[in-house]
Amino acid sequence: MSAHELPFFFTWSAQNDAFPVEISAGFGSYFETPEGLRILDLGSLTYQANAGHGNQRIIEAVKNQADRLCLSMPSAVYPEKVELAERLLEIAPPGYSKVFFTLGGSDANETALKIARMVTGRFKAIARYRSYHGATMGAASLSGDWRRVAVEPGLPGVLHVLDDMSQSRSRIADVLDYEGNVGAVFVESVVGANGVLIPTPEYMRSLRNACDAHGALLVFDEVLVGFGRTGSWFAFEHFEVAPDMITCGKALTAGYGVLGAVLVHKRVASHFESNVLASGLTHYAHPLGVAAALAALKVYEEDGLIERAAELEPSLRDALIEWRALETVGESRVLGLLSGTELHLSQKAFRRLPEALWRRGVHAHVKPGPGVLVLSPPLSIELEELQEGLAKVREAIEEVSKEEA
């Protein structure tokens, strides 16, 4: 079926270039098309399916919640809402005291930006180029890739810095030395869709120290990398630095419900004991999303999926090192079950790569802008499935490379 035959928009594409993907079912590391084609999901759909497809424990939890309580309102209190907030604060580092629930990652970042303005009284925010923080106007304004440009001018007061995360000092620290009225610094703990850029611990400490010195709040965007993707609950835990706010989405529910969250440290949350928190949503902590999140967190723990991501990292890394024998394959960056591999291909070859993958029964994230192939399989993937999928991805890269030669 072509995009023109369907009555809805396809996101992030000209409609003439859209590539409709019909999905009829899914189980484990695979999803299926109506024609019966099984696709190995090396992208976790859009990075959210950390528990895999068709997980009956999560599905049953959502069904049971619908039977008990399916509708709510922002001020309502019900047991699952309390339990999820408490569970998230247990997962967070010491000192976090409140959770603000959202509909997803975009408005989690939007909410964190609003909280920063209310708490600090400052309207400026700093973010990085090669970043993505969401599709709403505030989150898009924070984003540093092409998706921001399409809707400019965005929010006033957002500054972007071209930063090198492999260094020991962030350039954001230098900007803070000269810029005034900065209320918050937003960074992805590990950059995801823009190339899987992994910071050094020294870089992260320089961010924390600079924010402390200038009174700016530090926000770590964990929407893509949170909940086990990198082999820990949160990616920032690898660097032993904690932010003032943590934004979450995607794998919070493993994709089985619509929910995001902002985890807020008590030094920030205390401001609202006597000041109005001017933010809210009709579907704040919707019961079905909350049920999916509670069940997903249990699956991550009971099945050891976070540890599994760390255990499978060497196998993923070794395969990507072997790919370097291909002339078109460059550096790879890996943390847990998240990798970014630089491909030296023309834009035309990059556009052909998704189809070459699809013909081999593989779904992955091809990013022509930064010239990177991003892999992020479900944390439940079996080693044999991962190895088979990586072999097929290599075949696809070889195919489009030969066509280009």
Q: pLDDT tens across 271-307, in order?
A: 999 999 999 999 999 999 999 999 999 999 999 999 9
- What's residue 1's pLDDT? 61
Q: Give me the chain's average pLDDT, please.
A: 95
* pTM of the shown model: 0.96
Residue 58 identity: I
User: Please, what's the b/e burial string for 46-65 (b: 16 or more CB within 10 A of its CB; e: otherwise)?
Assistant: ebbbbbbbebeebeebbeeb
- What's residue 254's pLDDT? 98
- Asked if 349 and 400 touch (Cβ cutoff 8 Å), the reply is yes
- What's residue 404's pLDDT? 67
- Asked if 155 and 164 touch (Cβ cutoff 8 Å), the reply is no
Residue 273 identity: E
- What's residue 15's pLDDT? 83
- The secondary element (H helix, E strand) that includes residue 383 is helix 383-404
Burial class (CB in 10 A: 0-12, 13-18, 19+), 389: buried
Of residues 187 and 180, which shows the higher confidence score? 187
Going by pLDDT thresholds of 50, 70 and 90, the confidence category of residue 7 is confident
Q: pLDDT tens across 152-169, in order?
A: 898 999 999 999 999 999
For tokens 């890739």, what's the residue?
A: 145
| CA dihedral angle for residue 151, residue 155, residue 161, residue 164, rounded to 10 degrees | -70
Is the pLDDT reported for residue 13 higher than 90? no
**Partners of 114 in the β-ladder:** none
C-alpha span between 317 and 331 (Å, rounded)? 11
- What's residue 131's pLDDT? 95
- Asked if 257 and 329 touch (Cβ cutoff 8 Å), the reply is no
The DSSP symbol for 266 reads H
Q: pLDDT tens across 56-101, in order?
A: 999 999 999 999 999 999 999 999 999 999 999 999 999 999 999 9
Q: pLDDT tens across 102-141, in order?
A: 999 999 999 999 999 999 999 999 999 999 999 999 999 9
Average pLDDT estimate for 218-243: 97
Of residues 2 and 256, which shows the higher confidence score? 256
* Closest CA relative to residue 336, chosen from 315, 318, 309, 314: 309
Q: Is 79 helix (H, G, I), strand (E, B) or coil?
A: helix
For tokens 């009971």, what's the residue?
A: 302
Q: Is 38 helix (H, G, I), strand (E, B) or coil?
A: strand
- What's residue 405's pLDDT? 59
Is the pLDDT reported for residue 16 higher than 90? no
Residue 364 identity: A
- The secondary element (H helix, E strand) that includes residue 172 is helix 171-178
* Size (the chain), residues: 405
- What's residue 67's pLDDT? 98
Here the tokens at position 11 are 């996101």
- What's residue 22's pLDDT? 86
- What's residue 258's pLDDT? 97
For a pLDDT cut of 70, what percent of the chain falls above it? Answer: 99
C-alpha span between 385 and 180 (Å, rounded)? 51
